[in-house]
Chains A and B, each alone.
Chain A
Amino acid sequence: MTQMNAFEAIGHALAEEMARDPRVLLFGEGVATKQKQLLEAFGPARVRNTPLAEGIIAGTAAGAAASGLRPVVDLLFSPFLCFAMDEIVNSAGKLRYISGGQFEFPMVVMALTGGGWTVGAQHNHNLEAWFVHAPGLKVVMPSTPSDFKGLLKAAIRDDNPVLFFTDIGLTFAPGEVEEGDEIVPLGQAAVRREGTDVTLISYAKTVHTCLQAAESLAEQGVSAEVLDLRTLKPLDEATILASVRRTGRLVVVHEASRLCGVGAEIAALVSEKAFDALKAPVVRLTGPDAPVPSSYPLEQAFIPQADAIAAAALRLMQTPEPVPA
């Protein structure tokens, strides 16, 4: 075990995968400038700076992926993905299907998002649900340095386009990371804390907020289970449903806004497939339907807080259970 932060974990994953597979290459806005160690290890053909032009970066990745390479591209901040939507959604996501399965698109698109750096609404926008909605794409959003490394390695080895979102608030938080070739498979949620009374489901930095809430709930005699989705698509339905069936109560928490967010999908899933197990309505705690402000207190207020999560869980505990028919 080694201590490292998310940025370092990403660097380790890239170095290991590039050493393992000569088809893996990294390009994007400043990657050769910022990742000097990768440039030195793998040379300028495989670690490339690009113009500040997200469309052609993502399009070049899609063209290269369909032609035998396994590109990883860094588009910096998630709102910049708007410049690359055609290439990611219409090309990388659809051309396999449109071609009747003639091509594969093994590529990873990395972007930063979330509060923490007061960068404001055009550098911070949790738009991960957009890509969950688009066919042909997978979406990953880790919460621990260990998962940043293991999930990125899995994403690079996957034969599909994967959106890899890095929560800004987690970038410099240290954590234990296994040494060596540890893969975290895509599509597997992790139970971060076991509990029996209520399930708190989240991903990225609000997983840690849920863990804080679970701690305070425990002090009040409520046993909360905390589930970290890790991959938003494919969604680990089995783990979600098994947890809700155990606890009968669900609070879904994410920083992204509520309407048509990932939480809406989970609430719908649970109502469709585990309605009989529910002892109370599903509750969502999310960011508001607003652009993210820059001012630090406002930016923090945008993000669901531990006190609110604990309060929501306590309200669910007070909901009278339905009388059995």
Chain B
Amino acid sequence: MTPISQDPNPLALLERMMLVRAYERKLIGFHEAGQFPNVCTSVGQEAAGVGVVAALRPEDRILTNHRSAGHLLARGADPGRMLAEVMGRATGYCKGKSGTLHISAKELGVVLTSTIVGGELSLAPGVALAKAQLGEPGIVVCFFGDGAACEGIFHESLNLASVWNLPVLYVCENNQWQAYVRRKEAMLAERIAPWAASYGMESRTVDGNDVEAVLEAAAAAAAQVRETGRPYLLETWTYRQRSHMEPHDPSYLVPEELAAWAPKDPILRLTTKLKAAGLVDDAALEALEARVAGVIDDAAAFAQASPFPDFSELATDVYA
């Protein structure tokens, strides 16, 4: 069983962001080398997931979506079992039955991943209701994007969580893209956070590419949800640097937008800041990169050496 990651130290945050980046770069590398299952990456959005997850406690529950690798790895998921899942191996978190799109890990509190955009929003109030009704400690964090916020279920979920006083921390990762459509084409407002007011819910938008700012905002939001038992909407303002899914298709991305966001890359920003503060030097960064790369190489080797599920697994786990 993997220990849950919680260390809020900036260097620990940096290492987790680098781990997420290295994991997804590995997937991209597999694609560039030949055929590989389609995957959705969160390159450029690492701070949003890592910062929020660092604010959580072991008893908290996480619901995520199709762009979930960052959330899982930030929580301490084993990259070997994740890669095995992506590759459809029996050693994956879901025995190869999920693939990349819906990895859940009950042991880490990462529950009920839905890849139907908005599905996680429909499930979150129920997870929180169970916690409240059974008298269990902890809150429920629900990660979704600006695309899901344009689904009707966003309204239904926030409305019910507010009416029923459920401890849900909604985290909208506004990455400026809704699959193949620019956010600006799909909604008139820039931000999602103000919509929370309609449900009597507090909200905040935070710079989603500043991991320390995300952690600070998420810690404050989580504390409020714990104290009041009421939902809260945190919006992380970030940017998806790659196409909707791999293999990468840059044809519909916007060069000026990519260029404008490049200096705001969350890993670049934190390393620059830590170097300026004298907390790391190039040698330490290289060592960190080498360590992370080693972890991912080992994970890939584990996944590639893992067996595919037995055909007898085809119709198991359908009914309890």
Contacts and interface: CB of A to CB of B under 8 A. Distances in A.
A92 B318 CA distance: 11
Given A95-B112, A103-B112, 16 more contacts: A48-B164, A59-B121, A63-B125, A63-B130, A64-B130, A86-B118, A86-B153, A87-B123, A90-B116, A97-B97, A99-B102, A100-B95, A100-B96, A102-B105, A103-B106, A106-B320
Contacts, number: 154
A59 B94 contact: no
Nearest to B313: A100
B238 interface: no
Contact of A101 (B112, B123, B317): B317
Interface string A180-215: 000000000000000000000000000000000000
B104 interface: yes
Interface stretch (B29-37, B72-80, B155-163, B253-261): B155-163
Interface in A58-96: 58-69, 71, 86-87, 90-91, 95-96
Interface string A146-169: 000000000000011000000000
Interface residues of B, number: 46
Nearest to B85: A100
Interface in B110-150: 111-112, 114, 116, 118-119, 121-131, 133-134, 136
Contact of B317 (A62, A91, A96): A96
B143 to A, nearest CB: 15
A102 B119 contact: no
B180 interface: no
Given A67-B131, A91-B112, A100 B93 contact: yes
B127 A63 contact: yes
A264 to B, nearest CB: 22
B319 A136 contact: yes
B112 A55 contact: no
B61 interface: yes
Interface in B80-95: 92-95
Contacts of B136: 68
Contacts of A32: none
Contact of A59 (B105, B125, B163): B125
A25 to B, nearest CB: 7
A96 B127 contact: no
A67 B111 contact: yes
Which of A23, A61, A98, A135 has its CB near the most chain B CB atoms (within 10 A)? A98
Which of B104, B128, B136 has its CB near the most chain A CB atoms (within 10 A)? B104
5 contacts: A86-B122, A87-B119, A96-B320, A100-B93, A102-B106
B271 interface: no
A321 B177 CA distance: 67
A1 interface: no
- Chain A to chain B: the 3 pairs with minimum beta-carbon distance, closest first: A63-B126, A59-B122, A67-B130
Contact of A102 (B104, B116, B121, B133): B104
A63 B94 contact: no
Contact of B163 (A51, A135, A159, A160): A51
B106 to A, nearest CB: 4
Contact of A86 (B93, B94, B116): B116
B313 to A, nearest CB: 9
A53 interface: yes
B94 A66 contact: no
A64 B129 contact: yes
Contacts of B92: 100
Contacts of B128: 63
Interface in B166-208: none
A193 B63 CA distance: 51
B153 A59 contact: yes
A104 to B, nearest CB: 4
Contacts of B156: 51, 53, 55-56, 59
Which of A48, A66, A105 has its CB near the most chain B CB atoms (within 10 A)? A66
B318 to A, nearest CB: 5
B98 interface: yes
Contact of A99 (B104, B121, B319): B104
Given A48-B164, A56-B157, A63-B127, A98 B122 contact: no
Interface string B290-320: 0000000000000000000000000011111
A294 interface: no
A159 B122 contact: no
A100 B114 contact: no
A65 B112 contact: no
B317 A67 contact: no
B111 A59 contact: no
A142 to B, nearest CB: 21
Contacts of A105: 320
B278 interface: no
B152 interface: yes
A325 interface: no
A53 B112 contact: no
Interface string A279-307: 00000000000000000000000000000
Contacts of B121: 59
Given A50-B160, A98-B94, A67 B320 contact: no
A238 interface: no
A45 interface: yes
Contact of A65 (B124, B125, B126, B133): B126
Nearest to B130: A67
Contact of B111 (A66, A71, A101): A66
Contacts of A63: 63, 112, 122-130
A91 B127 CA distance: 13
Nearest to A61: B126
Contact of B130 (A55, A69, A96, A98): A69
B94 to A, nearest CB: 4
B123 A59 contact: yes
